[in-house]
Amino acid sequence: MKKTILYGAENKEVSRVVLGLMRTRNVEEKDLEILLDAAYEAGINMIDCADIYVRGHSDIVLGEVFCKRPDLRSKFFLHDKCGIVKNVYTINYYDFSKEHILDSVNQSLERLHTDHLDALLLHRPDALMEPREINEAFTQLHEEGKVRAFGVSNFNPRMIEMLQKEVSYPLIADQIQFGLGHANAIASGFELNMDTPASPTRDEGILEYCRAHDMTIQAWSTLQYGFFEGNILDEAKFPKLNEVLARIAEENKVSKATIALAWILRYSGKMQAITGSMNPVHVAEAAEAMNIELTRKEWYELYLASGHILP
> 125-145, pLDDT tens digit by residue?
999 999 999 999 999 999 999
pLDDT value for 48:
96
The mean per-residue pLDDT over the stretch 17-39 comes to 93
Distance in angstroms (rounded) separating the CA atoms of residues 119 and 48: 9
Query: DSSP string of 27-63?
Result: --HHHHHHHHHHHHHTT--EEE--TTGGGGHHHHHHH
Distance in angstroms (rounded) separating the CA atoms of residues 256 and 254: 7
- pTM for the full predicted model: 0.94
Tell me: the pLDDT tens digits for 218-250?
999 999 998 888 999 999 999 999 999 999 999
**For residue 33, which of 78, 56, 63, 3 has the smallest C-alpha distance?**
63
pLDDT value for 99:
97
pLDDT category of residue 24 using cuts at 50, 70 and 90: confident
pLDDT value for 89:
62
Tell me: the pLDDT tens digits for 142-166?
999 999 999 999 999 999 999 999 9
Task: Look over the chain and give the mean of its residue pLDDT values, rounded to a whole number.
Answer: 94
Distance in angstroms (rounded) separating the CA atoms of residues 123 and 152: 6
pLDDT category of residue 88 using cuts at 50, 70 and 90: low
Distance in angstroms (rounded) separating the CA atoms of residues 244 and 305: 7
pLDDT value for 268:
87
